[in-house]
Amino acid sequence: RQEQFRALRDVEPITKDGHRIRLQMNAGLLVDLPQLADSGADGIGLFRTELQFMIASTMPKSEEQEAFYRNVLRQAAGMPVTFRTLDIGGDKVVSYFRAQEEENPALGWRAIRLSLDRPGLLRTQLRALLKASAGAELRMMLPMVTEVQEIRAVRELMQKEVQHLSKFGHHLPKKLQFGAMLEVPALMWQLDELMDEVDFVSVGSNDLFQFSMAVDRGNARVSDRFDILGRPFLRILRDIVRAGDRHKTPVTLCGEMASKPLSAMALIGVGFRSISMSPTSIGPVKAMLLGLEAEKLSVELNAALDDHHSLVPVRELLVRFAADN
């Protein structure tokens, strides 16, 4: 089967009824980069920059960060790369970064919260990203955003870095694409402001599922208790896609669920046209969508999501659809 998927590498990911789906891959280290060409992915939809910090024994210096990003972009050879700013804390431990013991680390001082409280750290990273992307496009996004105001605060720091660099004669990126991850349920009630604030939104379904169902993603005893393909979560995802459509803001998803053909199918069913997954999933997901009637699926799935009386699990419907079509 691996061979069969390899043969799909150069086949364009278009559904049977003609929808082009962007299939990107997730990465975080240089060893991941060769998989970009090997898998035939459309780019890197999530580059987890904290990995460089997690494998180092001391804080990577500004020049090391810049060199690393430059290297990533060189190896990506013109394919788009979306860098996520540091997502330290929670399940992502950086040993030399002494944070206080927390009772609920997932809900604690992490990601964008930590970056905003340590603006020196964030500005160093922003500067490294700007310098590494000189003359090219810089795509970046913020993890664990809770309020739209946090995005504005980072944008202001970004503007300061841009001014600083241009004052000293540095080349700047020729285009900046500034995005946010949607991982915290509070953003569901700020969707209109959010979509107007950013160039794109990427759903972090691992965390969004964890927080919306109140189940620890690292605790199998509870994390498998509720179905990610159940009505509540699929309705959440559908609302996000609809808000993106209303505001013409591109929406994508980069959590683990994009890596499984059945859940990737459900994502297309609720309207996603772009997803990012582990590189080994590009082949299997592409094989699924080549035979998919996306519009027919959407009609059936939307009916199931709008049905307030049915007790039939949506997963059953999806499995049946996949088998019959």
> By the criterion CB under 5 A, which residues form the site for Mg ion?
183, 204, 207
CA–CA separation, 61 and 161 (whole Å): 17
CA pseudo-torsion sign 242, 245, 249, 253: positive
Residues 6 or more apart whose CB falls under 8 angstroms from that of 319 comprise 262
Smallest gap from Cβ 244 to ligand PEP, in A, equals 17
User: Rounded to the nearest whole angstrom, what is the least distance from the CB of residue 183 to Mg ion in the complex?
Assistant: 5
Task: State in angstroms the smallest separation of the CB of 143 from ligand PEP.
Answer: 7
Which chain residues interact with ligand PEP by CB under 6 A?
46, 48, 87, 183, 204-207, 254-255
- Which is closer to ligand PEP, CB of 11 or CB of 30? 30
Burial annotation 297-324 (CB, 10 A radius, 16+ → b, else e): beebbeebbeeeeeeeebbebbeebbee
Q: Rounded to a whole number, what is the distance in angstroms from the first to the last CA of the chain?
A: 20
267 binds, among ligand PEP, Mg ion, none (CB under 5 to 8 A by kind): none
Residue 60 interacts with, from ligand PEP, Mg ion, none (CB under 5-8 Å by kind): none
Determine the length of the chain: 325
Whose Cβ is closer to Mg ion: residue 162's or residue 215's? 215
Question: 254 touches which of ligand PEP, Mg ion, none (CB within 5 to 8 A by kind)?
Answer: ligand PEP
Helix 294-306 and helix 231-247, axial crossing angle in degrees, nearest 10: 120
46 binds, among ligand PEP, Mg ion, none (CB under 5 to 8 A by kind): ligand PEP
Shortest Cβ distance from residue 206 to ligand PEP (Å)?
3
Q: Nearer Cβ to Mg ion, position 43 or 204?
A: 204
Residue 48 site contact among Mg ion, ligand PEP, none (CB < 5 to 8 Å, cut-off depends on kind): ligand PEP
Q: How far is the CB of 137 from Mg ion (least distance, A)?
A: 24
Residue closer to ligand PEP, measured from CB, 257 or 304: 257
Nearest approach in angstroms of CB 255 to ligand PEP is: 3
Nearer Cβ to ligand PEP (195/257): 257
Please identify, using beta-carbon distances, which residue of 204 and 261 lies nearer to ligand PEP: 204
Partners of 25 in the β-ladder: 44, 277
> Cα 274–222–224 angle (5° rounding)?
45
What amino acid occupies position 61? K
Amino acid at 65: Q
| DSSP assignment of 163-225 | HHHHHTT----SEEEEEEEE-SGGGGGSHHHHHHH-SEEEE-HHHHHHHHHT--TT-HHHHTT
